[in-house]
Structure 1
Amino acid sequence: MTVPRVTRPHMPGYGTLPADQGTGLLPWSWALKRLTDSHDYWVATVWPDSRPHLMPVWAVWHDEALWFSSSRGARKVRNLEANPAVTVSTGDALNPVVAEGVAGVVRDSVSRQAFLDVVNAKYRTSYDLDFLNTDDTATVRVRPRWVFGLDESDFGGSPTRWDFT
């Protein structure tokens, strides 16, 4: 497992404390638990004309990336094919984990089956590879460049950024 570099993000005007005050920097395990356990996620992409696009998805954290599937014709997938920059957030606005990264459509059956195994375990589904027919469905892997987390109970003392570059 890659352990990202951790820092206190610069948040002018928000009253954030130095990294050694309040809760202090959150451990990567705090973010990883939320990336793994969240039921719903928000995926933000960009239309070709630069308008933002935001949609909810089911997703899983697997192999140091966030994975989801979608119809190949869905706006989010078409946006990602034109511009792979993406931001994904967990569904908890009070204790958010936000990941910015690069998305790619995964086509190999071994990786797609591994994704389905994690999806089926998490969501108690029984999808098979036919569900991810590569002509109709895209399997998307988001490799994070950075991740941001915040514990609401210590708004000023917990903001943490993990860098993967």
Structure 2
Amino acid sequence: MTLKEPRTELDTRYGEPEATATAWTEAVGLLAEAELFWLSTVRPDGRPHVTPLLAVWADGALYFCTGAAERKAMNLARNPEVVLTTGVNALHGGCDLVIEGTAVRVTGHSRLTALAKLWEAKYGAEWHFEVQDGGFTGGQGVAPVFEVAPRTAFGFGKAPYSQTRWQF
């Protein structure tokens, strides 16, 4: 994947006067370090579905996996547009991130093998995956893996309060 530098904008309507835009490089560091993400998908009847999951940041995109029969996988089969969020879950300090994009299934064996290694390096041996049949296996069948390259992203700083928008 080609890494693109986004257009960065500070929205002064939603911050303190001394706020500055968060650098994309800082946001990338936070995405790489975050342990938990919240995935928002859309159910067939249009209602939202939100669930926590693990994800890794690699080569300019977030990657996550899910069981093929899980609600999020079924939602993605109908509508691949998603939002992934992560942050510090605190009112003061830190930065919360929102990533909007399209979830694209990853099936290449070499790419999946590299991602499985990243999962285990980040989350430990508990999250060891084998690659088989175009997905991760770990005891409960094949889990599809998805890539979400940011289309638009937001950073909500809280010391001082700020809102940065990155457009890709």
What does residue 38 of structure 1 align with? Answer: 34
Residues 109-128 of structure 1 mapped to structure 2, 5 A cutoff: 109-125=109-125, 126-128=128-130
Runs of 4+ in 1 over 6 A off after TM superposition: none
Whether 1:71 and 2:73 are equivalent positions in the alignment is no
Whether 1:159 and 2:163 are equivalent positions in the alignment is yes
What does residue 136 of structure 2 align with? Answer: 132
Residues 2-151 of structure 1 mapped to structure 2, 5 A cutoff: 2-9=4-11, 11=13, 14=14, 16-17=15-16, 21-94=17-90, 95-125=95-125, 126-130=128-132, 132-133=136-137, 136-151=142-157
Please list every run of 5 or more consecutive structure 1 residues that lacks an aligned counterpart in the other structure: none
Q: Tell me the amino acid that sits aligned with residue 143 of structure 1.
A: A
Q: Which deviations, in whole Å up to 9, do the C-alpha atoms of 1:25-61 show, x marking residues without a partner?
A: 1111111111110000000000010000000001000
SS class of match (2:116): helix
Q: Which has the higher strand share?
A: 2
Question: Could you state the TM-score of these two structures normalised by the residue count of structure 1?
Answer: 0.86
SS class of match (1:32): helix
Q: Tell me the amino acid that sits aligned with residue 138 of structure 1.
A: P
Q: Tell me the amino acid that sits aligned with residue 132 of structure 1.
A: F
CA distance, structure 2, for counterparts of residue 112 and residue 104 of structure 1 = 13
Structure 2 CA distance for partners of 1:112 and 1:10, relative to 1, 3 Å? farther
Deviation at 1:136, TM superposition (A): 2.6
CA distance, structure 2, for counterparts of residue 103 and residue 10 of structure 1 = 30
Question: Could you state the TM-score of these two structures normalised by the residue count of structure 2?
Answer: 0.85
CA distance, structure 2, for counterparts of residue 91 and residue 151 of structure 1 = 10
Count of aligned pairs: 155
SS class of match (1:30): helix
CA distance, structure 1, for counterparts of residue 22 and residue 53 of structure 2 = 26
SS class of match (1:36): helix
Measured on the aligned residues, the alpha-carbon RMSD in Å equals 1.8
